[in-house]
Amino acid sequence: MIALSFDDVPRGRGAFFTPDERSKRIIAELKKANAPQAVFFVNPGALGRGDGVGGEARIAAYVAAGHVIANHSNSHPRLNTTDTAAYLADIDAAELWLKGRPGYRPWFRFPFLDEGGKDKAKRDALRAGLAARGLRNGYVTAESSDWHLEALTREAAKAGKPIDRKALGDLYVSWHVEAADFADAMMERVTGRQPVQMLLLHETDLAALHIGDLVRALRKAGWTVVSADAAYADPIGAEMPDTPSANGTLTEALAWAAGVPAPRWYRYNQTDLATAVFRDKVLGEGKAE
């Protein structure tokens, strides 16, 4: 089983759509694919400026379509380079906007999946701070760095390069399915069972174009797509593994704690490898290794 989550809402303009066009298409494609409730992790600090203008209405539209919203911090800071008190204050600022709104869930997802890195005192302070606020970690178990694929697409479009849209969609879909399969196998290896996976996506133009295809491909590969509520009801969420560096997916952390050697992550999370394949398959600029 697997659930869908979208980070960095409201996100700025992409390669193909305005923010309004993108949100409408994501909602429509999820509905067309009969996808259950997804969660959209919000940065309220982006609202009301730049491409965030109109973001409140777009967030409300996600909720009206049956999805839920949660905290992704107010301004998307990186914990490694932010004072603990300031970081918690940023979480509080986001909660001030979110709490009490329709669709709200008391979940917090760390920006950059950075939970303190090598600073265990900071990691533990955030764990305690979230508990004191009644928030739980909105962890991720599966990802394929879709933010990087989106960035490569934007750069290519801005440069006026020809983009093979079919090849781009194939990469978006296949990489996510492979990432889910990788996480499932790793979780079974280190926990002895198959917990509900939480897939990390972003509110991107690529999601707007291909989220319906992804849901159908996951089902074809044997996955049952479930609600975000169902995913975060899984007891795996109580795990707080002690690793040399607190960052990345919960799958990777549990594998690290269990002594699994690197790599403990899906291969296309290596951005150099993903870039080479993108340039080969999507731009036709050379052969990937």
pLDDT of residue 97: 98
Of the chain, the percentage scoring pLDDT greater than 90 comes to 96
**Residue-wise pLDDT tens digits, 175-210:** 999 999 999 999 999 999 999 999 999 999 999 999
Would the CA dihedral through 37, 9, 21, 173 be positive or negative? negative
**Where do the structural domains in the chain lie, given as residue ranges?**
2-281
This prediction has a pTM of 0.97
For 3, counting Cβ atoms within 10 Å of its Cβ (0-12 exposed, 13-18 middle, 19+ buried), the class is buried
CATH classification for the domain delimited by 2-281, as one of 3.30.565.10, 3.40.710.10, 3.20.20.370, 3.20.190.10: 3.20.20.370
Q: β-strands 39-42, 68-71: how paired?
A: parallel
d(CA 56, CA 59): 5
Q: 95 in helix, strand or coil? A: helix
**Residue-wise pLDDT tens digits, 113-141:** 999 999 999 999 999 999 999 999 999 99
10-residue averages of pLDDT along the chain (289 residues): 98 94 98 98 90 88 98 98 98 98 98 98 98 98 98 97 98 98 98 98 98 98 98 98 97 98 97 98 80
